[in-house]
Amino acid sequence: MALKPLDSDKLYHRCDLSDFGFTSTNDLTPDLSALGQQRAMDALQFAVGMHHDGYNLFVSGSTGVGRRELVSRMINERAKQGEAPQDWVYVHNFERAHEPCMLCLPKGAGQGLRQDMQQLIERLLIQIPATFKSDEYRNRVQEISDEFEQREESQFQALGEKAHEEQITLMRTPSGYTLGPLREGKLMTPDQFKALPEAEQTRIKAALEQLNAELTALVRELPKLQQEHREAIRALDDDITHSVIDPALSGLRQKYGTESALLEFLDQVHQDMIENVDDFFAQDKDENAKTPLHKLARSDTFRRYRINVLVSHDHNGGSPVVVEDIPSYQNLVGRIEYQAHFGTLSTDFSLIQPGALHRANGGYLIVDAQKLLSYPFAWEGLKRALRNREIRIDPLEKMYGISGTRSLEAEPMPLKLKVILIGERRLYYLLKAYDPEFSTLFKVYADFNEQLDRSRGNLEGYLGLITQLVQEEGLAPFALSGIERVIEQSSRRVDDSTKLSLNRGQLIDLLREASYCATRAGSSQVKSEHVSQALKMARTRSAQYSELMQEQIERGTIMVATEGSAVGQANGLSVFQLGDQRFGKPARISATARLGGGKVIDIERETELGGPIHTKGVMILANCIGARYARNSPLSLHASLVFEQSYGMVDGDSASALELCVLLSAISGLPIKQSLAVTGSINQRGEIQAIGGVNEKIEGFFELCKNRGLTGDQGVVIPATNVDHLILDQAVVQACEKGEFHIYAVKELDELISLLFDRKPGKADEDGRYPPASVNGCVQQQLLDWTEQARKLSGKSDN
């Protein structure tokens, strides 16, 4: 019984939504659920719900399925329910400046503390100079000075009175104090002194010596008295300084009284301000005195009092969610910046910058796995932070081991967050296989699905998804026919009429372009013809290479026959993938056969142009020949197979069924129809197996036949298991309905043979012999003849 072509209803599996009760997307409700991704969303919920270490998440799936959007939406919703983490700030270490201290503050307090410290400096820049210029301060200084001057004067006055009793005077000179004898109230001259009796001179000299000793002792006590004077002034200054600084800092202590670490820092600030009160006379030192106060407060003089707010959160902001698009090492773990001054680089705690881990601490960090692995040390830095549960900022030169200068050793921040890596499945399994730490740090895997069944329940969800996208994009509403066409194209995307594509990127593009076509046509709704027009425009934009190949085939430059019959050659079908565009083109497959040692040569493999899957297909068909036709005798065959005019890589086994038929033609000498093109792989039992790209392959051969002129004999043979995948272009369907083109579906080799050779394939009897006039019989007989010839040639023929 001759094999009949497929009916038209098998060539295009239409989507009928007439019983869903709507006319356009205006009648539908948007669906914000993760359609078809329940497995992945369950994994995501599990990861964020586990509070133990290591339950970070790796998300995979094909590009366009909406991984990022769905993950971000779910994480953001979860984060809103969480609490904002505490603030973290770096402050100056007054004991070891190269080891900045980290303080943990209540959420939202970081910015407030920084402003409070800034205002404190500005206030002290006004109050301290004003206090030291006040009349009260000057009076107290004058009192202290007068007191010490009086003490000094009284001591010298007492010595002077004692000297006067001895008729000696105490005089103040520019160089100090001196003693001299008196006579009649006047200083005695040397001549007058010599004129005195010797006893008198002796008495005066003794008195002078005694008084000189007392004067010397008194002068020696002057530095001590002056030191006491300075200490009294210093004590006054300290009292005045305390009277200004203490009240200013007491307000901060009361405001942040529950934070012990901060109070300790404020104590250190207090002590440093007392010791360096002169810094607050900056405006007095400024001759022009034109520097604004807020700039003075931000100057390097007061840098040590600054608060470097590393991370600050709003009280009601929920848990942080950070998406790091450039996950370099420094962007992840933070960095220490440097500033140049006269050719010298310097840094301090105020130049420490946070990384994504700091900002996401207490929440969620979303990172692209491919980008993360492309930056040096980024992956190792992330693992170290997760493993040690802390964020330590180490410069890259330290990581490379080339640091020759001393840098900051910032106190690390405790870390607790969830990391979500988004990447390809290949990356996940490579990390799983080659990084021992990966499995301990990323225990949860969420794999996003690319397709789902085209059932009624799923169609309802898909309608909600389309409605949601139409509203989000602000597109024209889609009519019933337009939605049906969109769903049919969705099934074609996954090469299966029983499935729906979950590639949101491709779906959004189609909706946008169809809406554009409808708007340009002046239609208020997007209908089926507008969707078809959008698809046609997309194909046309990417069709240049396809049209060039088609032109070469039609001109005969690439030889493909579509009429008649020939021995040892037939039309195979290939699919080309260029970016997002797929198209099919026919290619001639030829074979030669002769007497030999049972070897089938794959020319593509021999020239290193054939991939391993294609080679596997050729090996299978070679064994299939031996199993069918030479079970009880040697296979005395030397054959070759090749894709004619193929100058690139050939891979896949979708031509193996046709290659076997071409080889049978070469062996038997029977011609094959050139009006048919064939696709399908074969197993060792002669069963025809499904292949990919069936729609594009059929349309590629149809286009060639149409351009050359349809004869009614042309068509394509496909595996029966591919029938459910058919969603062909309407031009192909209409040609098949008119009988101008045919699509045949075969299950096993004999059905394919009957179509290609237009002759019965023949069935084997109990001895494995095929009817002589059948295709299988001709092949078997030729192989037996070659075997007999081989025996004769080897001198082993029977007598």
Distances (CA, A) of 232 to 135, 143, 221: 18, 11, 17
Angle at 85 between CA 262 and CA 353, to 5 degrees: 70
Distances (CA, A) of 143 to 133, 135, 146, 521: 16, 12, 5, 99
Q: Do residues 639 and 666 lie in contact, with contact meaning Cβ atoms separated by under 8 Å?
A: yes
The radius of gyration of the chain from alpha carbons, rounded to an integer in Å, stands at: 49
Nearest residue to 577 (alpha-carbon basis) of 521, 652, 643, 500? 652
- Provide the residue type at 98 as one letter: H
The DSSP bridge pattern shows strands 581-594 and 569-578 to be: antiparallel
| Alpha-carbon torsion (298, 300, 301, 302), positive or negative | positive
Active site residue 697: yes
Q: How far apart are CA 595 and CA 143, in angstroms?
A: 130
Q: Do residues 332 and 377 lie in contact, with contact meaning Cβ atoms separated by under 8 Å?
A: no
Tell me the backbone φ, ψ of residue 198, rounded to 5 degrees. -60, -40
**Total length of the chain:** 799
The DSSP bridge pattern shows strands 569-578 and 418-422 to be: unpaired
Strand order across the 676-678 sheet:
599-602, 638-643, 581-594, 569-578, 676-678, 715-719, 742-746
- Provide the residue type at 323 as one letter: V
Active site residue 654: yes
Q: Do residues 332 and 381 lie in contact, with contact meaning Cβ atoms separated by under 8 Å?
A: yes
Nearest residue to 558 (alpha-carbon basis) of 641, 643, 679? 643
Q: How far apart are CA 774 and CA 763, in angstroms?
A: 8
Nearest residue to 586 (alpha-carbon basis) of 666, 681, 702, 672? 702
Pull the structure tokens for residue 483.
Answer: 């939605």
Which residues does residue 339 pair with via DSSP β-bridges, in sequence order? Answer: 346
Q: Do residues 660 and 750 lie in contact, with contact meaning Cβ atoms separated by under 8 Å?
A: no
Pull the structure tokens for residue 508.
Answer: 């959004």
Q: Please give the distance of CA 184 from its chain centroid, rounded to a whole number.
A: 106
The DSSP bridge pattern shows strands 364-368 and 321-324 to be: parallel
Pull the structure tokens for residue 65.
Answer: 């399925």
Nearest residue to 661 (alpha-carbon basis) of 552, 748, 763? 748
Catalytic one of 497, 574, 697, 754 = 697
Strand order across the 57-60 sheet:
321-324, 364-368, 418-422, 57-60, 444-447
| Residue 117 DSSP SS3 | helix
Catalytic one of 491, 546, 565, 654 = 654
* Residues involved in catalysis: 654, 697
